[in-house]
Amino acid sequence: MGNIKAWVQAARLRTLPLSLSGIILGTALATKQGFFDLGIFVLALMTTVGFQVTSNFANDYGDGVKGTDNEDRIGPARALQSGWLTRSALKKGIIISIAISLLLAIGLVYLAFGLDNLPYILLFLVLGFLSIWAAIKYTMGSNPYGYMGLGDVFVFLFFGLLGVLGSMFLYTKTIGFTSLLLAIAVGLLCVGVLNLNNLRDVVSDKKHGKNTVVVKMGFQNGKRYHFLLLMVAFICCTVYILMEDLTVLQSVFMVAFVPIFIHLKKVMSTQVPGALDGELKKLSLSTFLLAILFYTSVNYFL
């Protein structure tokens, strides 16, 4: 495989819409309050892409080294597993990606807060370093938290709460209770995507000691857990609509739950883990659709 194509494969571009969903939703919440800055928006998107690519490189490396990515694994081929990139090359890629991500994060924080809000600057720089740590430690190192069933917690915190509320705070310097509802909803949908991945790979993960939530609770209970994640996300969005007293047009983002519920029906009726591979993209894009529709409703129907 050509070198550029190998790096694109390792970057897993199909995961980017999901990671961008929280930034778009957080920006929409800020816009709803009358705050928007194009520079912050673009830098926030770029920083998130940097963190996600770093995470994908690290995940490719960690699972490849530990042997979790192997011929038993279902889904797209991985760069290290397939021999497209060496360990040394992928390590260098991770380091370069970290450096770019941190530079973007510093630029974002400076643009959002200037030099007059030192506590906010320090807070977001710490959050940036924690994001890098979380990206790397998911599968890399001697005690990766992804192998202990803690991936769901970190995805909820970083993709949901930090992604939505953090990006909103960059504009507004405040956080509201109703905004928390949407942050929880997006976080749960993102956990749902990870859970789908774990449902699909449950046999391989169990064989190689990757003790995900699904490995611990079993395939059938993992599907019930998936049902709970998506239903609570739907309830959070519904409560948000009621508390904000939104009109039908302002609630257009709920259309995203139509493909989500179709997806959920498919998951609940599936008995073969490998058959769930195609569902990851559906839930990821549905979450992205929810964010886009909410952004649209804020800009055109409020």
Quick one: three-class SS letters along the chain? CCHHHHHHHHHCHHHHHHHHHHHHHHHHHHHHCCCCCHHHHHHHHHHHHHHHHHHHHHHHHHHHHHCCCCCCCCCCCCHHHHCCCCHHHHHHHHHHHHHHHHHHHHHHHHHHHCCCCHHHHHHHHHHHHHHHHHHHHCCCCCCCHHHHCCHHHHHHHHHHHHHHHHHHHHHHCCCCHHHHHHHHHHHHHHHHHHHHHHHHCHHHHHHCCCCCHHHHHCHHHHHHHHHHHHHHHHHHHHHHHHHHCCCCHHHHHHHHHHHHHHHHHHHHHCCCHHHHCCHHHHHHHHHHHHHHHHHHHHHHCC
Measure Cα distances from 302 to 20, 240, 292 in Å. 23, 15, 15
Structure confidence at residue 77 (pLDDT): 67
Q: Does residue 214 register a pLDDT over 90?
A: yes
CA distance 134 to 190: 15
Check if the beta carbon of residue 260 is closer than 8 Å to that of residue 186.
no
* Statement: residue 1 has pLDDT above 70: no
SS3 67: coil
Instruction: Tell me the average pLDDT across 251-263.
Output: 96
Collect all residues with Cβ–Cβ distance below 8 Å to 102 and sequence separation of at least 6. Answer: 128, 129, 132
Tell me the residue range of the domain where 270 lies.
Answer: 3-300
Tens of pLDDT, residues 161-193? 999 999 999 999 998 889 999 999 999 999 999
- pLDDT, average across residues 109-115: 93
The percentage of the chain sitting over the pLDDT mark of 70, rounded to a whole number, equals 95
The pLDDT of residue 205: 87
Of residues 8 and 285, more confidence is placed in 285
Q: Is the pLDDT of residue 217 over 70?
A: yes
pLDDT category of residue 135 using cuts at 50, 70 and 90 = confident
Residue 72 to residue 82: CA distance in whole angstroms:
13
Q: What does the DSSP 8-state code read for residue 199?
A: H
- Residue 47: which of 116, 4, 106, 122 has the closest Cα? 106
Q: In terms of pLDDT, which residue wins out, 81 or 273?
A: 273
For the chain, the first-to-last Cα distance in angstroms comes to: 49
* Residue spans of beta strands (DSSP E) within the chain: none
What pLDDT sits at residue 5? Answer: 81
* Higher per-residue confidence, 37 vs 87: 37
The C-alpha atoms of residue 275 and residue 36 are separated, in whole angstroms, by 42
Residue 302: the pLDDT is: 66
Q: How far apart are CA 200 and CA 206, in angstroms?
A: 12
| pLDDT exceeds 50 at position 236 | yes
The pTM of the full predicted model, rounded to 2 decimals, is: 0.92
pLDDT of res. 263: 96
- Asked if residue 24 lies in contact with residue 32, where contact means CB atoms within 8 angstroms, the answer is no
pLDDT at 272 over 80: yes
Q: How many separate domains does the chain show?
A: 1
